[in-house]
Amino acid sequence: MKYNNSPIGIFDSGLGGLTVFKEIRKILPDEDLIYFGDTARVPYGNKSKDTILRYSAEISKFLTGKGVKIIIVACNTSSSLALEDLQKEEKIPVFGVIEPGAKRAVEVSCGGNIAVIGTSATIKSRTYSRVIYEEIESLSEHEKGKFKNNFNFKIIEKPCPLLVPLVEEGFLNDEITKGVIAYYLDSVVKEKPSCLVLGCTHYPILKDLISEVIGKDIQMIDSGIETAKTIKCFLEENTILKDGTGMGNESFFVTDDPEKFKGLGEKFLGRAIKNVAVINLSL
Amino acid sequence: MKYNNSPIGIFDSGLGGLTVFKEIRKILPDEDLIYFGDTARVPYGNKSKDTILRYSAEISKFLTGKGVKIIIVACNTSSSLALEDLQKEEKIPVFGVIEPGAKRAVEVSCGGNIAVIGTSATIKSRTYSRVIYEEIESLSEHEKGKFKNNFNFKIIEKPCPLLVPLVEEGFLNDEITKGVIAYYLDSVVKEKPSCLVLGCTHYPILKDLISEVIGKDIQMIDSGIETAKTIKCFLEENTILKDGTGMGNESFFVTDDPEKFKGLGEKFLGRAIKNVAVINLSL
């Protein structure tokens, strides 16, 4: 059996990627993890493709400099717009959060409508629609038939730009946040989707509020959980798991104040965050 | 009579400073204006002092490179945290938006309570409180007496971090925005302030909604209007007005997509925006 003891690199525009980090840690407790949050430039979701490409490339360069064995783009906006470029540029494997979520949505929907919510940049890129259609095409003829026989099949993509600021400001269980969720999702619910992809890593922390608005019949897909499963399979298949047991090391790099990151980050992780350092990428 | 035909530099984290730009243009129609919006790194208001200092210094350097005669920091967050540093570093005069607004608040309040709303970083800095107390100290004994005789005099500073994202996302006349304003301001109104300083250049575009929440008895102070008056006086007193008539030139520099800036920026200015170029400050 071969092993690879290098760390896994995970990055996001800010705090949201911690929902992915948490799922990775849950099913890969031994691995060393390096998290990068670009908190001095957050949010990405309302910015242009060129800017997101540039920021994502800078962070990947930083992580490869730290000797990571794989990179996980734990940000839907970067995954939508920059993943292919990063995969071309980097010599190590780079994973996004779109494909695992899209694959799971196709599995659970069984031909029913699929809804996706995300930032403006993610939704505008139409990446989810493209990847969901690719996943459907890759199904067996029998499974594909379920979609082909639903002549009204549609993918409903809805940008929800205010949810990231609400989460970043700590409005996590609030009437205002519930009102904003209803404002965005009432029209989505009317399309009777079978599932709702939480296409932004900030959204899983709002699961309970979203559930109150959409009801119990629409299954929520958490990209973080699906991505963690994908990563575990990949490490196993390529025999690059870490050789060791016990909880792996964790280090965090941010571009703005580490104290704010620690404070709100603990709400994401459900435990204290240590080893946070500040990095100035433009130097 | 002497003149100075160099342009005036105005900068903000994003779009908000256009409310200041608009007031400057209104009373100084001849002047050439250069506006810089740091749209790739917006917002500033939830970031740390170090980061805001660094961004503000980079932009000032860019503007002085364009040969401006003065710089207006049309962003309350930068004005609160970076103004003194910029004034030390730059050889040309640098003005912020805090002092003009604070001065006007002291004038109109006549000893009554003063409320200030702003971003988290602005409010946390306590700059408004400091400057308001300095303005009170500079009054005549008679005027100062009005404050000294009000034994309950207080300054109410309230951070309203969601208002910038709401404006940047175009929720300008919306029930959700009104709900958020009420959420922030109900407790402020209870303190019966005589006036409310709109301590963020994004807020003047929400004047009507804010007025619905706070009523007609609390006078709103728009820093943009007060800053424009201050600048006009300064140019006149120092005989560095532009020698010319007719509408001055305007150019705009942003760090992210110019199209989005043009789209929402027109709502701020009430007219089309031309001459927008993209700048990558980190190169």
CATH class of the B99-224 domain in this structure: alpha beta
* Residue of chain A nearest B283, judged by CA positions: A282
Give me the interface pTM, i.e. the ipTM.
Answer: 0.88
What span, in angstroms and rounded, lies between the C-alpha atoms of B283 and B281? 6
pLDDT in tens, A132-171: 999 999 999 999 999 999 999 999 999 999 999 998 888 8
Of the candidates B86, B187, B79, the residue with the CA atom closest to the CA atom of residue B131: B79
3-state helix, strand, coil in chain B (%, to 5): 50, 15, 35
The CA-CA-CA angle for residues A46, A73, A12, to 5°, reads 50
Q: What is the pLDDT of residue B83?
A: 98
Interface residues on B facing A, Cβ-Cβ cutoff 8 A = 39-41, 46-48, 50-51, 54, 161-162, 165-166, 168-169, 171, 176, 179-180, 183, 255-257, 260, 280-282
The average confidence (pLDDT) of chain A is: 95
Q: What is the mean pLDDT of each run of 10 residues along chain B (283 residues)?
A: 93 95 96 97 94 97 98 98 98 98 97 96 96 97 93 95 88 87 96 97 95 96 96 97 89 95 92 94 67
What span, in angstroms and rounded, lies between the C-alpha atoms of B163 and A132? 35
Q: What is the pLDDT of residue A171?
A: 85
pLDDT tier at A247 (50, 70, 90 boundaries)? confident
What span, in angstroms and rounded, lies between the C-alpha atoms of A95 and B172? 38
B8-96+225-278 CATH, one of 3.40.50.880, 3.40.50.1860, 3.90.1150.10, 4.10.520.10: 3.40.50.1860
Annotated active-site residue A75? The verdict is: yes
A8-96+227-278 CATH, one of 3.40.50.300, 3.40.50.1860, 3.30.565.10, 3.90.1150.10: 3.40.50.1860
What span, in angstroms and rounded, lies between the C-alpha atoms of A197 and A110? 15
Q: What is the DSSP letter of B7?
A: P
Q: Is a pLDDT exceeding 80 seen at residue A187?
A: yes
Q: How far is CA B89 from CA B57, B78, B84, B270, in A?
A: 9, 15, 9, 35
Distance from CA of B161 to the nearest CA of A (A): 7
Of the candidates A160, A159, A163, A156, the residue with the CA atom closest to the CA atom of residue A192: A156
Phi, psi of A59 (to 5 degrees): -70, -40
pLDDT in tens, B107-158: 999 999 999 999 999 999 999 999 999 999 999 999 999 999 989 999 999 9
pLDDT in tens, A59-106: 999 999 999 999 999 999 999 999 999 999 999 999 999 999 999 999
Of the candidates B46, B33, B1, the residue with the CA atom closest to the CA atom of residue B164: B46
CB-CB: which of B51, B162, B281 is closest to A165?
B162
- Intervals of CATH 3.40.50.1860 along chain B: 8-96+225-278, 99-224
Strands in A81-238 per DSSP E: 94-95, 114-118, 155-159, 195-198, 219-222
Q: What is the pLDDT of residue B97?
A: 98
From first CA to last CA, the distance across chain B in angstroms is 41
Per-residue exposure over A215-227, b if at least 16 CB sit within 10 Å of its own CB, e if not: eeebbbbbbbbbb
Work out the average pLDDT over A178-183.
93
Q: What is the pLDDT of residue A241?
A: 96
- The reply to whether residue A47 touches residue B180, judged by beta carbons under 8 angstroms, is no
- Intervals of CATH 3.40.50.1860 along chain A: 8-96+227-278, 99-224
Query: Partners of A276 in the beta sheet?
Result: A252
Annotated active-site residue A233? The verdict is: no
Q: Is a pLDDT exceeding 60 seen at residue A58?
A: yes
Q: What is the pLDDT of residue B227?
A: 98
Query: pTM to 2 decimals?
Result: 0.92
Residue B212 tokens, joined: 């619905």
